Amino acid sequence: MLQSLSVSQAHLPIGIFDSGVGGLSVAKCVQKLLPNEHIIYLADSLHAPYGSKPQDFIQQRVDTLAKQLIAKNIKALVIACNTATVNAIDELRKKVAIPVIGVEPAIKPAAARSKTKKVGILVTEATARNQRFLNLVKRFSSNIEVFIQPCPGLVELIEQGDIEQPKCDSLLRSFIQPLLEKDVDTLVLGCTHYPFLIDKIKNQVDQRLEIMETAEPVTRELQRQLAQRNLLA
């Protein structure tokens, strides 16, 4: 899987993948902020959702997808999936020579902005139980309370294009309501699928509740890593 790059390879594409359509929220931001870049997007829809799968399954899928994208001669790889990042990025980085950028939930900025000092985070089940993720939460929650809310079933609805069904609203309500009852004023979207539900989330919460996504910080990190290696198109 190893591939090394020289400075003349700035014209090569960037590989982006997710378990399904969720990573498109990241790809869209890359397209907007880095319009000269060429993107190859891979959606592992056959195996979605990752959130209900064990870690070794997720690691195998990440290895397979990375291999497929690296075979297309990419200059950098973006794991546009929180679940895949926390479960597999450390192992993958040991195996590949190109920059690998992952998605991490915006807990740090959320902690800085919250006035109630109570932050909610919506994640998949495989993220919620992951030690790397729990360590990240611990690192940034010394002066705030973080409420982790797993959201089983949401990714499936988004993948099936069923978000206009009443079931989607009631499922969302069952995940958000307990957080509002805890006086959370900042909500972190810890799964790249959830930005597709942002209007629905806004309909269920007070306007003052701040919703934090990660597409832009990930894109900035990608830009930084490419610039560092003289690989920006």
In the complex, the residues that contact ligand DGL under the rule CB under 6 A are 18-19, 22, 48-51, 81-83, 124, 127, 155, 191-193
Q: How far is the CB of 19 from ligand DGL (least distance, A)?
A: 3
Shorter beta-carbon distance to ligand DGL: residue 51 or 120: 51
Shorter beta-carbon distance to ligand DGL: residue 114 or 127: 127
Q: How far is the CB of 44 from ligand DGL (least distance, A)?
A: 8
Dist CA 214 CA 105 (whole Å):
6
Residue of 116, 207, 189 lying closest to 148 (CA atoms): 189
Active-site residues, by number, are: 81, 191
Q: How far is the CB of 192 from ligand DGL (least distance, A)?
A: 4
Dist CA 37 CA 102 (whole Å):
18
Q: How far is the CB of 79 from ligand DGL (least distance, A)?
A: 9
Owner of token pair 């075979």: 71
Shorter beta-carbon distance to ligand DGL: residue 53 or 75: 53
In sequence order, what DSSP letters do the residues of 90-122 get, joined into one string? Answer: HHHHHH-SS-EE-----HHHHHHH-SSSEEEEE
SS3 124: coil
Query: Token pair of 229, please?
Result: 């290696």
Dist CA 83 CA 74 (whole Å):
22
Strands annotated E in 2-84:
14-18, 39-43, 76-79
Shorter beta-carbon distance to ligand DGL: residue 82 or 186: 82
